[in-house]
Amino acid sequence: MTHYSDQDIINLCRDSQTRERGFRLLLGAYKEKVYWHIRRILYNHEEANDVTQDVFIKVWKGLDTFRGDSKLYSWIYRIATNESLNHIRKVQKHRGLPIENVMFLLEDRVNHEHITGDEIERKLHKAVIKLPEKQKLVFNMKYFGHLKFREIAEILDLTEGSLKATYHYAVKKIEEYLKND
pLDDT at 119: 65
pLDDT at residue 116, rounded to an integer: 45
Residues 163, 165: Cα–Cα separation, whole Å: 5
Which residue, 65, 68, 41, 63, is CA-closest to 52?
A: 41
Domains located in the chain, CATH noted: 1-113 (1.10.1740.10), 114-181 (1.10.10.10)
Give dist(CA 22, CA 175) in Å, integer. 43
- CB proximity list for 41: less than 8 A, separation 6 or greater: 81, 84, 85, 88, 136, 137, 140
Q: Which amino acid is at 112?
A: H
Whole-number pLDDT of residue 99:
46
What is the rounded (10 degree) CA torsion for 132, 134, 136, 138? -150
pLDDT at 44: 82
Residue by residue, pLDDT tens for the chain (181 residues) are 568 899 999 999 999 999 999 999 999 999 999 999 998 888 788 889 999 999 999 999 998 888 888 889 889 998 998 898 888 777 766 555 454 444 555 555 555 554 444 566 677 778 888 888 889 889 888 887 778 898 888 888 889 999 999 999 998 998 888 788 6
Give the CA angle between residues 127, 132, 138 to the nearest 5°: 85
* pLDDT score at 179: 80
What is the C-alpha separation between 87 and 91, in angstroms, rounded?
6
Phi, psi of 147 (to 5 degrees): -85, 150
CA distance 40 to 50: 14
Can you tell me the distance from the alpha carbon of 178 to that of 126, in angstroms, rounded to the nearest whole number? 9
What is the Cβ-side half-sphere exposure of residue 143, based on CA atoms within 13 angstroms?
Answer: 18
